[in-house]
Amino acid sequence: MYQVRIVDFIEIDSIVAIHNNAFPGFFLTLLGNRFLRLYYRSVLRHKDGILLGCYDETEKLSGFCAATISAKGFNTKLIKTAFFSFCSVGIYLLFTDANALKRLYLNWSKKDNMQEDTKDYAELLSIGVNSSSQGKGLGKFMLSELENMVSKKGGGRISLTTDCHDNTKTIKFYKSMGYEVYYEFITYPDRKMYRMIKLLK
């Protein structure tokens, strides 16, 4: 029996471990644990942020999802709430992986090419399940709990982004949960993405 609840700050390292396990080779993973700890800690701290953990009967953290109740400008808000910490990580990346820092800046500062998208929706930022807990429906369980929480907070829509190519299984999963493709966009460097969205009842 699993349960979903807001995580504690002391569990951030466990969140990072699951992230690394679930997303090997992904861009945010390549930025390193220092960045990931700061990022998820900042999501948890921010008033518009949501960081949920999925726990088994032994209270072991088996998965997580990060989200915001208000997508518009959320990354900018995160940086403002922990400005000096993000600057410190930025300086570190400047000397260790300047290309990664450039890509992070270009992606986070990029404006979507859909002018009519006012981003008046909640957004799923990340969702991951430990490899030992795969195939148990935890992703669906966590996403459903997140949607319920967003609805209780007054949110009417929830969105997410995912790769267009070589991503059939993930796209099929989100469509099975009621998400539809809202529009396509290109992120640096020439990575084609879908923004998907769901109307919450």
Let me know if residue 198 belongs to a domain: no
Runs of H (alpha helix) within the chain: 12-22, 27-30, 33-45, 74-81, 83-96, 98-109, 138-152, 168-176
Let me know if residue 183 belongs to a domain: no
Let me know if residue 189 belongs to a domain: no
pLDDT per position as a tens digit, 112-129: 555 578 889 999 999 999
Residues 200/150, Cβ–Cβ less than 8 Å: yes
Measured at the alpha carbon of residue 32, what is the angle toward residues 30 and 38, in degrees to the nearest 5? 130
- Rounded distance, CA 71 to CA 116, Å? 14
- Rounded distance, CA 47 to CA 71, Å? 12
Closest CA to 123 of 96, 99, 92, 159: 159
Burial 94-123 (b: 16+ CB within 10 A, else e): eeeeeebbebbeeeeeeebeeeebeeebbb
Let me know if residue 168 belongs to a domain: no
- The whole-model pTM stands at 0.87
Let me know if residue 82 belongs to a domain: yes
Per-residue pLDDT of the chain (201 residues; tens, 9 = 90+): 899 999 999 999 999 999 999 999 887 888 889 999 999 999 999 999 999 999 999 999 999 999 999 999 998 898 888 877 877 877 766 657 666 655 566 655 555 555 578 889 999 999 999 988 989 999 999 999 999 999 999 999 999 999 998 999 999 999 999 999 999 988 867 789 999 999 997
- Rounded distance, CA 71 to CA 48, Å? 9
pLDDT per position as a tens digit, 39-75: 999 999 999 999 999 999 999 999 999 999 999 999 8
Let me know if residue 173 belongs to a domain: no
Let me know if residue 186 belongs to a domain: no
Residue 158 parent element (H or E)? strand 157-163
Let me know if residue 26 belongs to a domain: yes
pLDDT at 191: 81
The tally of domains found in the chain comes to 1
> Which residue segment(s) compose the domain that 52 sits in?
3-143
Cα–Cα distances in angstroms (integers) from residue 126 to residues 51, 98, 116, 201, in the given order? 9, 24, 24, 22
CATH number, domain of 75, equals: 3.40.630.30
Measured in Å, how far apart are the chain's first and last C-alpha atoms? 26
